[in-house]
Every structure is written in structure tokens, then in C-alpha cells.
Amino acid sequence: MIAFSIFWLNIYWYGIFYLIGFIVAYLFLYFLGKSQILSDFPKLQNFLKKNLDDLMIALIIWVLIGGRLWEVFIYERDYFSQNLLEIIKVWHGWMSFFGGMIGVILSVIVLFHLKKLSWKDFILLLDILVVIAPIGILLGRFGNYLNQELYWLAVPDGAWWMSSWLYDFFVNTNIFHVYSKIDDLLRVNTNFISMFFEWLVLFFVILLVALKQLKNKKIKIWLNSSVFLIFYSLFRFFIEYLRVDSQSQIIWMFTTSQWIFLWSFVLWIVIFICSTSKK
């Protein structure tokens, strides 16, 4: 959805939300570089002080490239093979979280190699980034909502609650929403449901984990990342049942996305166990 136009250039809400997300990340990392929270990790703190601009440029480029390419090659190969120009139009939406995450990891690996930082500093930076990742997810989901993407089945007519206050509440809060770009049917707004779990619940959980480590003055590498991705994979696995577009991609019992989230869940459970092990 277009937010406004400057002469011939259209500015899209989806792009604006991505920009806000990057600004939040920049301010958060700038604060950590200046504060004493990372005083036990002087190399990483020094990196954030001196190389934050380089880091943000790399993150922006590779989040967009990774998020788009994952969508192109994993989820929507048929569509993009017939609409090649759409691949570069990232402002139209269709960005993948896992692709963006891989882009982040690759960009940080390259920078840390160039700056000769340790593997532990690399993992710690990822643990820091996941603390604010739910805010980026919130902004992305709101962009999906404005772009009228990720919709569910139509709300069935004739149910007893259609004439109750519950129905009015769902309509007035946009939990039931008409995706006019698709049709004129009232559908469950899966974007708002995703916002609740992937932003509010996940942000609360990961913040508690991070604050507990700071309170105990004992930071465990991989802990934030593993907790974040365990809950994210779990939420996304079940939310996929609500999405019409995903249900067209069934492979055996689950959709393509659900298989990815299932394996991700198992992987990060193992990493979580390792991160909390005394050994």
C-alpha cells in the first residue's frame, strides 16, 4: 500500500516499516556500544562503537537479499519464475523471516572475520539482536496487513455468535477483516494474531530471559537466540494452519513452512540444552 508520493516516486508503507525497524536496531546497538552492559566483552563493545554504521549497512542489504531470495526459491518459485521483475520489488512485500535471518548471520560473519573478532562475540551479537527482533516482526506484520497478505478462510455465515457482541468486537478490532484485494468476504485477520504471539508474547519472553542474565551477571551465549527461535518456530508452526496461502503447499502432513519450523524447533531445542549445560 502506498503511503505517499514524491513527484513520480511512490513511498510504500511496507518500506517505511522496514526503515523504522532498522532505525530501532541502530539506536539499540548504539546505546549498547556506549553503555557498560557489554563491559565484559570489550572487543564487541568497541566494534559497536567504531563499526556500527558498517554493521547496519550490511544488515540492511543482506536482510533484504536473504528475505527475498528465500521467498523466491523456497515458497513462491512458480510465481516469481513467471514474474521476474517482481523479484527486485521488495516494497511489495513477500519477505521471509528465515531468509532475512540467514542474511543477518552471513553479514555479521563477514564483518567479524574482517575485524578479527571472536566466535563468542559473533554469537553474543546475535543474542543481542534477537532481543529487538520481535519489534521488527511487529512492523513487518503490520506491513503484511496493509498489503492485504497472509489471509485466512472466510468467516462462516449462520453461526450462533454472528449476532452476539463477540462478532461486533472482532469486526471493530479488525480481527475479522475484509481483504478487498482478494474478495469481499470477511476473513480472520491472521496478521493481528501473528502480532500477538510473534511480537507481544515473544518480546515478553525474550526480554525476561535477557534481563535475568543481566541481573545474575552471567551471560550465556546462544541462550537468547535459542529461546527466541524455539518460541518463534512453535508459534509459526501453528499459525500456518490459519493461512490459506500456506495450506496450498502441503507436503505429506504439513506445509513447506511447517516442515521448516518443525526442524528449526528441534535444532534450537538441542542448542538450548547445550547453552544451559554446566559443561
Q: What is the DSSP letter of 36?
A: S
Average pLDDT per 10 consecutive residues for the chain, totaling 279 residues: 81 88 95 88 91 93 92 86 87 83 90 88 93 92 84 74 78 86 86 91 94 87 94 93 70 85 95 81
Residue 121, all three cell numbers: 562475540
pLDDT at 143: 86
Domain end point (choices 162, 188, 214): 188
pLDDT at 57: 94
The predicted model scores a pTM of: 0.88
> Beta strands 176-178 and 186-188: pairing type?
antiparallel
pLDDT at 274: 87
Structural domain that includes position 170 = 153-188
Closest CA to 198 of 150, 156, 259, 155: 150
Q: How far apart are CA 260 and CA 29, in angstroms?
A: 30
Same domain, 108 and 160: no
Residue 152, all three cell numbers: 485466512
Same domain, 134 and 201: yes
Same domain, 183 and 265: no
Q: Which amino acid is at 255?
A: T
Same domain, 19 and 92: yes
Handedness of CA 120, 125, 129, 131 (dihedral sign): positive
Same domain, 135 and 83: yes
Same domain, 42 and 18: yes
Residue 161 burial (10 A CB sphere; 0-12, 13-18, 19+): exposed
Residue 42, all three cell numbers: 570489550
Same domain, 121 and 231: yes
Same domain, 9 and 140: yes
Q: Which amino acid is at 134?
A: P
CA 149 to chain centre: 15
Element holding 237 (H helix, E strand): helix 223-239
Domain end point (choices 132, 161, 188): 188
The tally of domains found in the chain comes to: 2
